[in-house]
Structures are given as structure tokens and as C-alpha cells.
Amino acid sequence: MSGTIEQSVNKIQMAGHDGRQVANYILDFCEGRERTVTNLALQKIVYFCHVWSLIELGRPLIRHKFEAWDLGPVLPYLYRDFRSYDRSPIVGRATQLDPSDGKQRIVAYDFDAETDSLLYRIVGFYSRLRAGDLVELTHAHGGPWHSVWHHGGAVNPGMKIDDAKIVEFYSKAARPFSIQ
């Protein structure tokens, strides 16, 4: 990995959105097209939105690190928000505590035009795939998830997937969605 890519990714690491904002965008997008989304599929679509933001826009979409779990990349806090749905379609939205009154509120999103356009294309493509197909895509041999999951060491605390590894792998991959 060249130091240049790693340094660029590290500089923009603090940027990005809360994963719940992206999740709610995806859920609204899919609801408007009568597509259902499970927690498993949602995690993978959020991940691919982050991947292609790093590649296409040169910046992270999500400010938190994904973890390598058995079925692919996961944002643990997002998993917890929707775990009650199990394998059923998600009908609610991600919430967060409002510090002003202590009540849970739906997490709003407002993306710049460039990000919104990218999300539209990414979600439009990946939301048509089955959850199992999304898992398979995240498990690509030699990919970021695969490298963390099969790290070869006895311990890998947190099983964090590094943005620099995402850039290194996916910058060489063909875009599965049309770039218009």
C-alpha cells in the first residue's frame, strides 16, 4: 500500500456521516420503490455506499469503521438499531437520543448533491440484490473483509476494516453500477 493513499485516507477519516443517516436514506429509497430491506442487506448496502464514496468521491461516507463479522462488514451500532427485525423487512428507521429532551428521534439525513447522486446510483444497484448475494460480494477473496476475517493471527481486536484496505482493493475493481 502506498503511503500516499494511506495518508489521504487518514486525513479524511474524521469526515463522513453517521451510518444511521445513510441507513435511513437507503430505507426511504427502497420504500419508495417497494423494495424490502433486511438488517443483513442493509449492512451490506451501507458498506458498498461507503466503498464507492471512498473510490468515486475520494472521501469516506461513514465516519465509523466497519467490523468484519461472519456474514460480512457490519457497523455494530446500526446492527443493534435493527436487530429486532431479525430476517424480516425493516419498516422503522434508525433513531438516536436527542440530548435536549432525552427522547429517541429518527436520524435525519441531508447529503450534498454529489453524495446524493452517488447514493442514488449505488443504492439503486445494490438494493436489487438478495442479501445472500450481497454477503458473497463482500466476501471477495483478498478483499478488505476477507483480509481481516482471515488475518492469520490469534487475535484481531475489533476486527476493524481499514479504509485504506478498501481503497486499495476496490480502486482496482470494475464499477458494478453505471457511472453517468
Looking at residue 1, what is its pLDDT?
44
178 located within any domain: no
44 located within any domain: yes
All residues at 6 or more sequence positions from 46 whose CB lies less than 8 Å from its CB, including other chains? 19, 22, 23, 26, 62, 75, 78
Question: What confidence tens digit (pLDDT) does each residue in 89-147 have?
Answer: 999 999 999 999 999 999 999 999 999 999 999 999 999 999 999 999 999 999 999 99
Domain count, the chain: 1
B/e letters for 33-67, b = 16+ CB within 10 Å, e = fewer, are eebebbbbbbbbbbbbbbbbbbbbeebbbbebbbb
Looking at residue 6, what is its pLDDT?
52
177 located within any domain: no
pLDDT band at 165 (very low <50, low <70, confident <90, very high): very high
176 located within any domain: no
179 located within any domain: no
Query: With DSSP H G I counted as helix, E B as strand and the rest as coil, what are the percentages for the chain, rounded to 5?
Result: 50, 10, 40
134 located within any domain: yes
175 located within any domain: no
Q: Which domain holds residue 19?
A: 3-170
38 located within any domain: yes
> pTM, whole model, 2 decimals?
0.88
In whole numbers, what is the pLDDT of the chain averaged over residues?
Answer: 90
